Structures are given as structure tokens and as C-alpha cells.
């Protein structure tokens, strides 16, 4: 177990350090791989109700939110994307977020992720409001995120389907290869500012 925790700790730190926009843009299926793993071993701390099935549900029925995110073969017409809205934007939760976090922390994690998704898909100007909250989720143990009973990694992978475009270089390799003074960067930086700027001006017709 010590070896497992040591290495999952490294994974957690790297995921926390990787911006959500990078995850959205990359072709590497990072969270799809994490979602494919069986996180049952070595289990969860005894007495912890990560799925919020036994929590105080006077404000929000957390098991119902979790159920809305699950695929039910007998109801193929259901949409977790739409079914979760009434929970995610519940005014009673927004009015006292601190209390709801103590009531069901992982449920709140999921709500913030879904809000970031809705912002990405419908009102991208609001994305930066919710993105930091999604990033903070990754400060949590990767094992607990995987084993806690919420589809957190599946939802994080879903962000890749919301990207507007993939990663692309602003310049082609040929253009980068033809940059003036590209082999003499140190010399160019040593020039007075005016001289530097005049030398670094693009050639007529270049780009």
C-alpha cells in the first residue's frame, strides 16, 4: 500500500499542476485511462461516506444527483447532461456553499465541474469563474477521487469533447525555421533596444 500511495501521490501532484485547458486540448486520454481503472483496492477510510448516501440531505438529495449521472440501460432516452441541471444550479446550494461542502464534498466537486462544462458549452466568458474550482478538486488524492463513488474522472474526460479547437502551433515549422537571427539569439539580446527592434522586424511579405 505504501508503494501505491507513493506513486499515486506523484500522479495527483502532476494532475493538479496541469491546467484544465491543457486537458481539454490534448489528444492524450489521461482521464479516460484513470476512469478505466478499478479503484476498489485498497479501499476507502472506514466510516467515510464519500457517496453521501447517509449524509444530511435536507437541502439537496445527493444520491439523486449521483443517480442522474449514471447510465440506465432501461432508460436510454435519459440525458445526464440535462437531468443534472436542476441539482447543479439549485439556489439553496449556492446560497450556502460552505455548509453544502461539509454535507457532501464530492457532490459539490461534481457540481462545480458541471457548471464549468455548462459555461464552456454555452457561455465561455464564464468559464474562468468555475475553472479554478475544478482545478482545486485535483488537489485531492487521486485514489479517493477514483474510489469515492462519483464519476469524476469520466466527467473530466468529457471536457475534451467541449473544446473549440485542438492545440496548433501559430507558425509552421518552415516559418519558424526561417526566423532571422534564430541562431544568434544571445547576440541579438545583447544589442541596444532600438538596434534589437530594427533587426527583429519581420521581412517584407513575411507572415
Q: Write the burial class of residue 85 (CB in 10 Å: 0-12 exposed, 13-18 middle, 19+ buried).
A: middle
Name every residue whose Cβ is closer than 8 Å to that of residue 62 and which is 6 or more positions away in sequence: 51, 52, 53, 55, 103, 104, 107
pLDDT class for 74, splitting at 50, 70, 90? Answer: confident
CA 109 – CA 4 distance, rounded (Å): 24
- The owner of cell 449521472 is 69
**pLDDT given at position 120:** 87
**pLDDT given at position 205:** 47
**pLDDT given at position 207:** 41
pLDDT at 4 over 70: yes
Q: How far is CA 203 from the centre of its chain?
A: 41
Give 54 or 22, the one with higher predicted confidence. 22
The percent of residues above 70 in pLDDT, for the chain, comes to: 79
**pLDDT given at position 72:** 83
Q: Write the burial class of residue 190 (CB in 10 Å: 0-12 exposed, 13-18 middle, 19+ buried).
A: exposed
Give 15 or 92, the one with higher predicted confidence. 15
> Global pTM?
0.74
CA 32 – CA 34 distance, rounded (Å): 5
CA 69 – CA 64 distance, rounded (Å): 9
pLDDT at 114 over 60: yes
**pLDDT given at position 188:** 65
DSSP 168-186: --SS-HHHHHT-TTTT-HH
pLDDT class for 96, splitting at 50, 70, 90? Answer: confident
pLDDT digits (tens, 9 = 90+) for 156-193: 999 888 877 666 544 555 555 555 665 666 676 677 76
For residues 50 and 149, the answer to whether their CB atoms sit within 8 Å is yes
**pLDDT given at position 206:** 41
Q: Write the burial class of residue 32 (CB in 10 Å: 0-12 exposed, 13-18 middle, 19+ buried).
A: middle
pLDDT at 50 over 50: yes
Distances (CA, A) of 154 to 70, 116, 161: 11, 14, 12
Nearest Cα residue to 117 out of 104, 137, 134, 139: 134
Amino acid at each position: 500500500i505504501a508503494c501505491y500511495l507513493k506513486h499515486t501521490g506523484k500522479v495527483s501532484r502532476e494532475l493538479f499542476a496541469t491546467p484544465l485547458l491543457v486537458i481539454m486540448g490534448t489528444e492524450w486520454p489521461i482521464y479516460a485511462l484513470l476512469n478505466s481503472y478499478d479503484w476498489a483496492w485498497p479501499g476507502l477510510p472506514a466510516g467515510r461516506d464519500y457517496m453521501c448516501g447517509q449524509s444530511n440531505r435536507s437541502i439537496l438529495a445527493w444520491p439523486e444527483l449521483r443517480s442522474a449521472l449514471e447510465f440506465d440501460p432501461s432508460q436510454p432516452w435519459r440525458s445526464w447532461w440535462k437531468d443534472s441541471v436542476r441539482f447543479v444550479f439549485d439556489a439553496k446550494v449556492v446560497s450556502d456553499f460552505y455548509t453544502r461542502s461539509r454535507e457532501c464534498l464530492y457532490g459539490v466537486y461534481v457540481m462545480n465541474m458541471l457548471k464549468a462544462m455548462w459555461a464552456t458549452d454555452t457561455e465561455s466568458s464564464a468559464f474562468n469563474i468555475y475553472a479554478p474550482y475544478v482545478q482545486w478538486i485535483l488537489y485531492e488524492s487521486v485514489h479517493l477521487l477514483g474510489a469515492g463513488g462519483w464519476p469524476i474522472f469520466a466527467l473530466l474526460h468529457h471536457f475534451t469533447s467541449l473544446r473549440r479547437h485542438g492545440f496548433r502551433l501559430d507558425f509552421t515549422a518552415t516559418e519558424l525555421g526561417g526566423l532571422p537571427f534564430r541562431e544568434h539569439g544571445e547576440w541579438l539580446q545583447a544589442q541596444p533596444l532600438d538596434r534589437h527592434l530594427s533587426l527583429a522586424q519581420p521581412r517584407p511579405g513575411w507572415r
